[in-house]
């Protein structure tokens, strides 16, 4: 970084009229290079969050959109809850289901709730959920459900048997 600073100081000291355009050009290059070569730890953390890796072996539920709240159960035990999320932003939850799979016949249930607890009538007509079921790095099911029907409380539910990755009900 000191070398870039020294180069910038040198360029600024040039005084001829013909070199004014060259100064602007070189300064622009320095700014571009400095922007490309320095990354703050905050930028690195954001980059890591935005490009998560899906494990190559095992079972993963990858949730990419939620409005308002998702709960995930394995064998009727709550293993994940998103909390309340408004306006259907893109999210990036990778839930490793592998530790919960014992004999390959476990039941996975995904529920989407619209509104905010205690789920009394509210002005929140829209709900949405988008997720992938992944086994050994391959997407085996993709779901994108949404509605604007003023549904409040439980508005979407889906159950899978891990062994078959087949839907039991909607």
Give tens-digit pLDDT for 33-74: 655 544 444 444 433 333 344 556 889 999 999 998 999 999
Q: Which ranges of 38-170 does DSSP label H, i.e. alpha helix? A: 41-50
115 Cβ contact partners less than 8 Å away, ≥ 6 residues apart: 68, 122, 124, 152, 153
**How many Å apart are CA 11 and CA 66, to the nearest integer?**
52
Segment 64-117, tens digit of pLDDT: 999 989 999 999 999 999 998 887 678 999 999 999 888 767 899 999 999 888
Structural domains of the chain, with CATH: 2-37 (no CATH), 52-169 (2.60.60)
């Amino acid at each position: 970084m000191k070398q870039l600073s020294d180069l910038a100081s040198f360029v600024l000291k040039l005084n001829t009229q013909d070199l004014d355009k060259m100064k602007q050009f070189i300064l622009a290059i320095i700014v571009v290079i400095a922007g490309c070569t320095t990354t703050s730890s905050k930028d690195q953390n954001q980059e890591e969050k935005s490009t998560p890796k899906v494990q190559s072996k095992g079972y993963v539920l990858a949730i990419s959109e939620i409005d308002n709240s998702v709960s995930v159960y394995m064998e009727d035990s709550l293993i994940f809850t998103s909390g309340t999320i408004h306006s259907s932003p893109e999210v990036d939850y990778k839930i490793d289901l592998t530790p919960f799979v014992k004999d390959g016949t476990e039941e996975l249930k995904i529920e989407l709730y619209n509104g905010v607890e205690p789920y009394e009538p509210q002005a929140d007509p829209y709900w949405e959920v988008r997720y992938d079921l992944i086994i050994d790095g391959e997407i085996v099911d993709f779901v994108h459900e949404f509605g604007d029907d003023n549904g409040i409380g439980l508005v979407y539910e889906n159950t899978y048997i891990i062994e078959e990755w087949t839907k039991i009900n909607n």
